[in-house]
Chain A
Amino acid sequence: MQTSIRRHAPFWISIFAGIALWEIAGRSTSAAFMVPFSETLVRLWQLVTTGEFIAQFFDSAELFLTGFVLALAVGMPLGLLLARVRVLRIGIEPYIMTLYATPMVALIPFILSMMGFGFAPKVLVVFLFAVFPVLYNTVEGARSIKPELIEVAKSFRSNEWSLWREVLLPYTLPYSMTGVRQAIGRALVGMIAAEFFLSSTGLGQLIMSASQNFDTGGVFASILVIGLIGVGLMRLGLKIEQHFARWRQ
């Protein structure tokens, strides 16, 4: 009990200090500029009780999950294939690295003018944001496999299945999970970007319409919620990464 208080006290002190600072700053500036924490909560509660918030949240969640799962479904198998076929990996490695470093937001205007305003273009945006971190890191893991390991496995006449199970997967998966963590963060950015710049839906629309109506409270409420979702997802990503990091030698 005593130690738990001592351990968590700094956290709560810093959180309360932050909230107090926010409250004071909000009260001492104009309402169009900043809204105190208490009013943000009130506005958030209004959004929740009118049901607007819940509907938008599920809209966003659907977009996020579809794009993210697609990115995993493409990125992981492709990355593992690259881990197995060395020539293929060497061949397309530089292009994956290039696309990983390219700001994918720049492609949104093209997607808009080619695919319009449906659900599919938005999924494509989330997918493009998320897939390259997964691929890049899986390939990074594939590079960490020493060719000797595969040679030894082969000279002991290991079959394809056990080669995957004993060598390829244990070596590449921890890296892939680093990619998954990065992909979660990027997919979230992609989700909001798609909702801002393609058809306006979800939490992105919530912020957009609030800011267009000069409803600063609504803007703060949405940012607070998206921020908390971001923090939660980041933690989840770290947990996943750490779970698999034990495999890394």
Chain B
Amino acid sequence: MTEQAIGTSIPLSTAPKPSPLAARMSGTFAPRLIAGLAILLLWEFVVRAFAPAYVAKPTTVIMAIPRVIVDPAFQVATGVTLAAVAEGLAVALLFGTIIGLLMGRSPMFERAIRHYVNGFYAVPMIVVLPLFSLWFGYSGATRIATIIFAAIFSIIINVADGARSVPREYLEVARSFRSNRLSVLIGIVLPASLPYLLAGFRLAAGRALIGAVVAEFFISVGGLGYYILFNSRTYHHNEAFVGVLLLAGFGVGFELLVNWSTRHFMPWYRRGDKS
């Protein structure tokens, strides 16, 4: 208990905790609610006044939500896209971590591939689509490849950063206990660079989501992106917008999940921790 309290600076008594939180909530909640309502009202008003009837507006989107989420086509599309993103991210995470660790710890390897990693990271991922569709055909394989391409480089860069910044004392201790290189890599370097890995993963998840949607637009393979494309082409904007809301939800959800797990599982790591 005391150990945890020192490490995480969690107050020992939980009693005074709710009151500042409640105060903060009331301080931020009202402006946020008002701003949110204002944005929705403005949107509703502008669309009603100036846009054709099929254009999505808050009231019609809300009415479309119950209809869309029970629609099997929507559920299948969401499942397919999420499965592809998960699969691509898993591959990118595995290989990205391995390459990143090697890059961070081996100067030779780092020099050999650094420019390629940075270069491919800077290439707008969308330009590889025509090439990937030539290579992998108009199928789910192109989508997976795009997701991996979109995700892997930010993971490599971040893991390499993390592996490079492992405190030297850790490595010296390991060396004096004669541990071999592999166990140093897995036992010390990997855990020490976990926060960087998570930061890279957060970036990668957002990029993977974009990659999946763009690939579905481009090769018209079934999924959430294609659902949005198809419905907006057939002037079902409200239905399509529910898909966009879901994508936004995933984007924000990933962000919050990674922030939360960094705080929860790695409380010693507080980069840019601001109120």
Could you list which residues of chain A lie within 8 angstroms of chain B, going by C-beta atoms?
10-11, 13-15, 17-18, 32-33, 87-88, 90-95, 97-99, 101-103, 105-110, 112-114, 143-144, 185, 188-189, 191-193, 196-197, 207-208, 210-211, 214, 216, 219-220, 222-223, 226-227, 230-231, 233-234
Contact = CB atoms under 8 A, between A and B. Distances in A.
Contacts, number: 151
Contact of A110 (B119, B129, B232, B252): B232
A248 to B, nearest CB: 11
Say whether chain B's binding surface is mostly helix, strand, loop, or mixed. Answer: helix
Residue of B32, B120, B124, B213 ringed by the most chain A CB atoms within 10 A: B124
Interface string B24-57: 0001100110111001000000000001000110
B170 interface: no
Contact of A231 (B31, B51, B122): B122
Interface string B219-253: 00000010011001101010011011001100110
Contacts of A208: 130
Contacts of A92: 35, 39
B245 to A, nearest CB: 9
Interface in B88-125: 111-116, 118-125
A109 B227 CA distance: 11
A210 B251 CA distance: 33
A95 B209 contact: no
Given A14-B115, A226-B123, A230-B122, A97 B32 contact: no
Interface residues of B, number: 59
A223 B149 CA distance: 14
A222 B127 CA distance: 9
A91 B31 contact: yes
Contacts of A32: 134
A219 B252 contact: no
A189 B130 contact: no
B252 A101 contact: yes
B32 A11 contact: no
B129 A91 contact: no
Nearest to B248: A102
A16 B209 CA distance: 34
Nearest to B235: A113
Nearest to A232: B122
B214 interface: yes
A83 to B, nearest CB: 14
B247 A185 contact: no
